[in-house]
Structure 1
């Protein structure tokens, strides 16, 4: 393995493995996380939202009854939210990331209990009905727990 540094342009190094040149990448997946060259977490958040929907669709055939809303809330808390917020205490979240995560969560909860946007039900009523808290509160709690304050 060989790495040739350019004295004028250090970011354009060439990695050669045997006879093959390895291309540079702006992002890659490492142990389930998407690491980007610019330090942003947009790719990781999009990936976590996809994982959230995947976990829901895997179990949605069993849990599509409006009579078991508290069970749906517990399922969301124990399976879906854990998959979505795995290792979120380390994320440097911005406001756009919080909005993206809360929109994805509310879309999932509305799909879970059978409401649509036409029903015009406020998010806080949906969260109370299912028995979950907001995304910002859970991420703040996990960050504080990680720092040892809870």
Structure 2
């Protein structure tokens, strides 16, 4: 990360030179450059190769994207990957085996694919709704029913007994928030959480949803200090999860 593209180019050149000294080689096809609107676009060249400039890129299993609604595409990708995992296991979900085994397979093989990295997402009602709609469709496929059968969602969940995706991702985020807030070292997760990059006047219109907004609704503005009390934080987590499981 750098403040200017010139500085970034120098950092990449240093990395390339240091890599060669120990017998390593940078993969320029997998090396990309991303910048926000405050940086003037100009080419970055390393070792005679111009690095491609992109507006999004999958990194460590997630799509990194700058700007508003930067989690929409990641959620859509997660749903697509969830359906892919579901399709590979469809023979299990359609076979005449006990429902408890189907539930276990779904919770351990499909749900983790859809919720990987969810603790880093900025939750919105629309995001939660998309995930729950996808899960309901999978549950109907597990039972061999369709929307035309007019079976209520509550009844379908009673039959499948799978973990609600909204409950899973909100639980993951609450646990991760407490874990990061209690860190006393100098790691990046704590630094990024406390970083305040915006300066000057903000744009007209509704401000973008911040990662900690939904945490503040339950624990208040001093939520990081409250996370130090593990028992109290765990009890507040029930209210936090409840606010998302009742949506949509």
1:67 is displaced (CA, Å) by 5.0
Instruction: Flag the structure with larger Rg.
Output: 2
Q: For 1:13 and 1:37, how far apart are their aligned partners in 2?
A: 18
Match of 2:169 in 1: 139
Q: For 2:92 and 2:107, how far apart are their aligned partners in 1?
A: 16
Q: For 1:122 and 1:133, how far apart are their aligned partners in 2?
A: 17
Match of 2:81 in 1: 51
Which segment drifts farther, 139-148 or 47-56? 139-148
Match of 1:73 in 2: 103
1:54 is displaced (CA, Å) by 1.2
Whether 1:113 aligns to 2:143 is: yes
Indicate the structure whose relative CO is greater, using CA pairs within 8 Å and at least 6 residues apart: 1
Q: For 1:112 and 1:97, how far apart are their aligned partners in 2?
A: 23
Q: Cα distance 1:133–1:68, how it changes in 2: closer, same or farther (>3 A)?
A: same
Tell me if the contact between 2:82 and 2:110 (Cα under 8 Å) persists in the aligned partners.
yes
Tell me if the contact between 2:79 and 2:131 (Cα under 8 Å) persists in the aligned partners.
yes
Q: Where does the alignment leave 5 or more consecutive residues of structure 2 unmatched?
A: 8-37, 179-232, 235-248
**Deviations 1:68-127 (CA, angstroms, capped at 9, x unpaired):** 322211111111111111221221111111011011111111111111110111111111
**What root-mean-square deviation, in Å, do the aligned CA atoms of Structure 1 and Structure 2 show?**
2.1
1:4 is displaced (CA, Å) by 4.5
1:21 is displaced (CA, Å) by 3.0
Match of 2:65 in 1: 36
Structure 2 length as normaliser, TM-score? 0.53
Tell me if the contact between 1:66 and 1:113 (Cα under 8 Å) persists in the aligned partners.
no
Structure 1 length as normaliser, TM-score? 0.84
Aligned length: 145
The structure with the greater share of residues assigned to strand is: 1
